[in-house]
Amino acid sequence: MNPQTRRNFLKTTGCLTIGFSLAGMSAFPELLHPVQELPGGLRRHPAVNAWLEILPDGRLRVFTGKIELGQGIRTAVAQMAAEELSMSMDLIQVVIADTDRTPDEGYTAGSGSVVNSAMSVRYAAAYARQKLLELAAEYLDVPITGLWIENGRIGTANDTRGISFDTVLDGRRITDTVRPPVQLKARSDRRVIGKPVARKDIYYMAAAEPVFIHNMRFPGMVHARVVRPPSYGAVLKRMEENLLKKEFPKLESVVRDGSFLGVLSEDEYTVIKAQEYLKKNAEWDQEKPIPEIENEKLPEYLLSLPATDETVENEGSDPENDTDIEWIESSYFKPYIMHGAIGPSCALGLYKEDRLFIWTHSQGVFPLREALSGLLDIPAEHIHVQGVPGSGCYGHNGADDVAADVALLARAFPGRHIRLQWSRTEEHQWEPYGSAMILRNRAILSDRGRITHWKYDLWSDTHSQRPGGSAGKLLPASYLRKPVTDNSFGFSGGGYRNAIPYYQIPNRYVKAHFFRGPLRVSALRALGAYANLFAMECFMDELAVHAAKDPYEFRLMHLNDPRAREVMQKLRNRTSTASHPEDTGIGIAFSRYKNTAAYCAVAARVAVKDGKIQLQKMWSVIDAGETINPDGLKNQTEGGMIQSASWTLREEVTFTPEGISSTDWNSYPIFRFGDVPEVEVTIIDRPDTPPLGAGEAAQGPAAAAVANAVFHACGKRIRRLPLEKYL
């Protein structure tokens, strides 16, 4: 086959696949920085064609296994590729979370999207640039150092037009894999990374254009609703299908499998009314699944449950039995809180010719595929799961469950696209919540006001029951005629995330106690770090008062890390130069997320008047290493502070023995637009250091900053959330 024929063949197929090795090659060594270790995503999927496709027209298609949750990963990934291949952002197309096309990157969680996925794209693109330059030098018979590369073309200094990537590749299929060292662009040459780049999806949201999975429609599609049990563990005893169809003649189908019950119709209003009818008329056997607990007694009840103990840290001496030593003690409590996604969970499904197609806003399309395979006994290779952005959620809400619902319905009603959207009540009642936590601090101060001993005990349920390939973790699985169950505890480590102080304390003892609580729980943004840092940083404020130290100085005297000290010092400068009204209080807090990711310090100003807390302003200083998109980092930090403030001041899941009682925005209040404080974020950019996960850095310190501000405004130390309830 001659080269021209090969090019035509590749143009017909639509793309060129690239994956190659450049071990030992170093074009422009004076301009480029070698990277010796590849990111985790690229180590698991080392072929360049797992991340990139160069299209015949010179555009670039980029793949990421992560889902867009509002964190801006689509934009960050495009920036990485555009930078390393010197391309305009308009020439980059990003494909997200697709089991048929993208690398398996597990879950979009833990503030790891930029660190793992986006950086994998960056290194793959840098590798591709080097190979393209090498091939162009060979094609043009010129030294590689005399070439330029720009927007899908390569040329010499005397040739302003150059030749296309398509010409350079000349139909060749390069299949090697990436191996270090990789040559990244030097800081001085970067034009896209570190610059604010607008997210196109924000424009479409503001313009009310279709963006989310909720907007998807297919020709001939039917709508569906699932009839939920009245409470956990209820069993469907009887439903009159004939009466139902007589009442609603437009129903296409009624699907029942054990206690799993769904209705389908081309008319969405019909299935909504049929769902309401069945809620009133179907008969269920049920026991009260939740113990009768007074809300005020919830901490005591949780402490009474059997617990599994785990020593997290045991460093130094323990003078527990020395009666001459004075321990300073405080206890804190965080209730169950919910994700509260503004758009209720939604999914679409189609079962056709022994293949299942699912469209979902799940944070893990590959684990979901494995779980659906086990649920329906369908080979995983016969299931295609496509990620589509949903209306906001950081953590494990109902996205996987609604996908399981629609998968069951699609198998029972094949050949038609099915759209299933939960109601607000369903979302509030059935999503997995963030666990309630009890937190106890004890410390000893020296005569000079330094912490010499630190003891911390926490009680928590698990912080992740994501399916992870297990069908038994999906909500409808246990209601089937042949139920699928998984009673494993889940991820316990999330409970003690950030439980070890980042401060320099010589003697530290941290212990976790894990119980199984009465409510369904799973991953919520920052996992246990939110409550642990709330307790830790409030206690640091209390210790500063005991030591008669300024809150900033007290923290700084326990911090040796220069980067930690800098975020604190910059925060102090920001707040000290601002004017503060009388009768307000300033609270501060600090953390390094996971003790390995972004550094974040937060300050809050509140006024307490007539028994109400007025949150006026919040400041943050964040060091997330190299900043890819400063606007994106600011947005993440601002949003994290505001979300945390809403959790801290207002949010609490309520329940009775019959079930969840916080079923709407009145019984589960969140911040409205009028409640949002002024926010100010300062970024410390470190372009010569690796990027650090930042999406969950602000939640913990923001909570403590608000609580500490309340104390400094009115003198009342509130140790139980939500603050407004216990003021």
Q: Read out DSSP for 524-551?
A: BTTTTHHHHHHHHHHHHHHHHHHTT--H
Amino acid, single-letter form, for residue 46: P
Q: What is the pLDDT, as a whole number, of residue 430? A: 96
Q: Does the pLDDT at position 6 exceed 80?
A: no
Residue 58 confidence (pLDDT): 85
pLDDT score recorded for residue 39: 87
How far is the CA of 52 from the CAs of 45, 59, 88, 332, 353, in angstroms? 12, 11, 15, 49, 31
Q: Which of 53-67, 277-291, 334-348 has the highest mean pLDDT?
A: 334-348
Residue type, 681: V
Per-residue HEC secondary structure of 596-615 comes to CCCEEEEEEEEEEECCEEEE
Mean pLDDT, residues 195-200 taken together: 89
| pLDDT(197) > 80 | yes
* Joined tokens for residue 501: 């102080």
CB 218, CB 417: distance < 8 Å: yes
Among 1-5, 211-215, 295-299, 564-568, whose mean pLDDT is lowest?
1-5
> Is the CATH number of domain 437-726 2.40.50.500?
no
Q: How far is the C-alpha of 580 from the C-alpha of 559, rounded, in Å?
A: 27
Please give the pLDDT value at position 450: 97
Element (H, E) at 226: strand 222-226
From CA 22, how far away is CA 465, in angstroms rounded? Answer: 42
Who contacts 431 (Cβ-Cβ below 8 Å, separation ≥6)? 338, 339, 341, 345, 397, 398, 401, 520
CA dist 27 and 601 (Å) reads 41
pLDDT mean over 536-546: 98
The whole-chain average pLDDT of the chain stands at: 91
Contact 134, 23 (CB under 8 A): no
What's phi and psi for 440, nearest 5 deg? -125, 125
- pLDDT average, residue stretch 548-571: 98
Pick the range with the lowest mean pLDDT from 198-202, 258-262, 446-450: 198-202
Using CB atoms within 10 A of its CB, is residue 125 exposed (0-12), middle (13-18) or buried (19+)?
buried
For residues 379-398, give the mean pLDDT.
93
Region 479-505 average pLDDT: 95
DSSP 676: P
Same fold: 3-184 with 341-429: yes
Secondary structure E strands in 406-472: 418-421, 437-445, 451-460
Residue 295's pLDDT band (cuts 50, 70, 90):
confident
Q: Bin 222: left if φ > 0, else alpha if -120 < ψ < 50, else beta.
A: beta
- Give the pLDDT confidence score for residue 174 in this predicted structure: 58
Residue 692: what pLDDT?
Answer: 92
Q: For residue 155, give the amino acid letter.
A: G
Mean pLDDT of 561-579: 95
For residue 15, pLDDT beyond 50:
no
Residues belonging to the chain = 727
Q: Specify the pLDDT at position 30.
A: 37
Confidence (pLDDT) at 540? 98
Helices (H), 424-463: 424-430
pLDDT tens-digit map of 689-714:
999 989 999 999 999 999 999 999 99
Banded model confidence at residue 110, pLDDT cuts 50, 70, 90:
confident
Confidence label for 263 from pLDDT (cuts 50, 70 and 90): very high
Return the bridge partners of 444, or none.
453
DSSP labels, 102-171: S-----S-TT-IIIIIIHHHHHHHHHHHHHHHHHHHHHHTS-GGGEEEETTEEEETT-SS-EEHHHHHTT
Instruction: Report residue 317's pLDDT band, with 50, 70 and 90 as the boundaries.
Output: confident
69-83, 113-127, 539-553 — which one is most confidently predicted on average?
539-553
CB-based contact 634:619 (threshold 8 Å): no
Q: Which helix (H) or strand (E) holds 238?
A: strand 235-238
Confidence of residue 206 (pLDDT cuts 50, 70, 90): confident
Distances (CA, A) of 222 to 235, 398, 419, 420, 609: 27, 21, 6, 9, 53
How high is the pLDDT of residue 31? 39
> Domain 3-184 - what CATH class?
alpha beta
Q: What is the DSSP string of 476-507?
A: GGGGSSS----------GGGGTT-S-SS--SE
Q: Is the pLDDT of residue 34 over 60?
A: no
Interatomic CA distance for residues 224 and 421, integer angstroms? 7
| CA nearest to 29, candidates 138, 146, 187, 184 | 184
The dihedral through the CA atoms of 361, 364, 366, 369 has a sign that is: negative
pLDDT of 421 above 70: yes
Where along the chain do its domains lie? 3-184, 220-287, 341-429, 437-726
As a whole number, mean pLDDT of residues 159-173 equals 85
**pLDDT at 324 (0 to 100):** 75
DSSP string over 316-371: S---TT-TTSPPEEEEEEE--B----SSPPEEEEEEETTEEEEEE--S-HHHHHHH
Residue type, 396: H
Of 119-123, 196-200, 385-389, the one with minimum mean pLDDT is 196-200
CATH number for the domain formed by residue range(s) 341-429: 3.30.365.10
In whole angstroms, how far apart are CA 389 and each of 28, 213, 511? Answer: 40, 6, 38
Q: What 3-state DSSP class applies to 306?
A: coil
